[in-house]
Amino acid sequence: MKTLIKNGTVITGEETRQADVLIENEKVIRVGTNIIDPDADLINAEGKLVMPGGVDAHVHLELPMFDTISSDDYYTGGKAAAFGGTTTMIDFVSHDEGSLHDNISRLLDKAAPKASIDFALHMNITRFDETILRQLETLPAEGITSIKVFTAYNNRLRLADQGIDKVMQVSRSYGLLTMLHAEDGDEIETMVREVTAQGHTEPIWHAITRPASGTVRAFRRIIELSAKNDAPLFLVHMNVAGEVDELSRARIEGIKVMGETCPQYLFFTEDDLKRPDGAKWICSPPVRKKEDNERLMRALSSSEIQVISTDHCPFFYGGTKPIKYENEFVRIPGKELGKNDFTKIPNGLPGIADRMPVLWTYGVGKGHLTPNQFVNLMCTNPARIFGLYPQKGTIAVGSDADIVMWDPGKQVNYGVKIAHHRTDYNLYEGWQLKGYPEKVFLRGKLLVDLEKWLGAPGSGKYQTCKQGEIF
């Protein structure tokens, strides 16, 4: 079966040109002008943009937290992603009991039968001993070439700096990229104890007890370890202007460090946590201030930040009430668990469907990003950094036919019903978007056709990662 997408404007990270795209056996087999193939199904893309499928390098599906679990699984999360133009997502393997291999196997057993788009994996490292260090060598054979460490979540996820130092030393020799969640765990623990003793329970205290200064300090410390060990570092969910300054300084000095931000850190602030429904905006790290929004957007414009991901980790806002999803009623405990105590509000937001449409309107549409920068940030750079390129992240001969046919003139009144997340709210409810996916292909198979969903559980495949690029 062949498919020929004709008359569209093909946009990659490198160029924009009028071209046709011919697909066969899940792959792009030709890109050029005036392609004719009488055996191919013809799709007319005149007036449309043809882009690679998005790669969201930071999601959390079915993640246990407090007394609940994040509400999207590999089917529903993939479905939402596809409606927003994303065809590959990268989740994290929790570091639970057993070997690293045991943890990876458990997640794959859960994910593979449900996955509706392609997915890859990072490995969390939240315990440290010599056995675990030896097991790091096995990760590339499992298709995992990136690990994540934390300077926060004391007594749960955090590694001491000495442990991070050792992990980075060992990881470098195996070609692994270290990802960092940067916050000051000790400062957070102290401040939470103090403010709760004073009776402060509202959502805004989540942000107050996780100050930006601690995030910047933690990042600076681990940058020093990156330089010391000549080990590459990737900072996740950049949310503070000071992080951009540290990242840029380090890169100028030749330190191998890169970073991502997320849409919530570009458009929302601590003032949203003060709203009556402020729990909707609880995530870690928290949303910050207007000046942080602006600095992060400038950093995207200037290519100081390399990737836009989502940190998609959705919870219901009112989990005592069911919602209807695909004709079935679903109810999952959510943010109401912390109604009277911000420390019990599940930390996470929906976002996997929102990323590309929102940033097209408010990034490209407002002149902050060129279309080519948009593709780099959403598709190409994450594929390059995490070892999926050129199979993913571009439209080129031999690449997977993950393709989004984008209607730049389509206007959408956005919100929870459009996004398809399996939750009861959307941060961008009522936002007016211009530019939206019309058709979305995964390895040549049509998943989304306007409002029609053609995907199914198991249509996505696990993607093994090679050693990624450092740039």
For the domain that residue 192 is a member of, what is the CATH number?
3.20.20.140
Q: Is residue 62 part of a domain?
A: yes
User: Considering the domain boundaries, does residue 87 fall inside one?
Assistant: yes
Residue 2: which residues within 8 A CB-CB, separation 6 or more? 22, 23, 24, 37, 39, 40, 41
Rounded distance, CA 337 to CA 133, Å? Answer: 37
Tell me if 204 sits within 8 A of 274, measured CB to CB: yes
CB 244 within 8 A of CB 295: yes
Cα–Cα distance measured from residue 190 to residue 421, given in angstroms and rounded to the nearest whole number? 35
Its domain, for residue 181, covers 54-93+148-385
Structural domain includes residue 267: yes
Query: Model confidence at 460, in pLDDT bands (50, 70, 90)?
Result: very high
> Does residue 63 fall inside a structural domain?
yes
Burial of 432 (0-12, 13-18, 19+ CB in 10 A): exposed
Q: Flag whether pLDDT at 336 surpasses 90.
A: yes
Asked if the structure places residue 66 within a domain, the reply is yes
pTM assigned to the model: 0.98
- The total number of structural domains in the chain stands at 1
Of all residues in the chain, what percent carry a pLDDT higher than 70? 100
The reply to whether 190 falls in a domain is yes
Mean confidence (pLDDT) of the chain: 98
Position 1 pLDDT exceeds 90:
no
* Cβ atoms within 10 Å of 105's Cβ, excluding its own: 14
Where helices occur in 280-366 by DSSP H, the ranges are: 290-301, 355-359
For residues 334 and 73, give the distance between their C-alpha atoms in angstroms, rounded to a whole number: 15
- Residue 242 has what pLDDT? 98
**Position 418 in a domain:** no
Any domain includes 335: yes
CA distance 448 to 407: 13
Chain centroid offset of residue 93 CA: 14
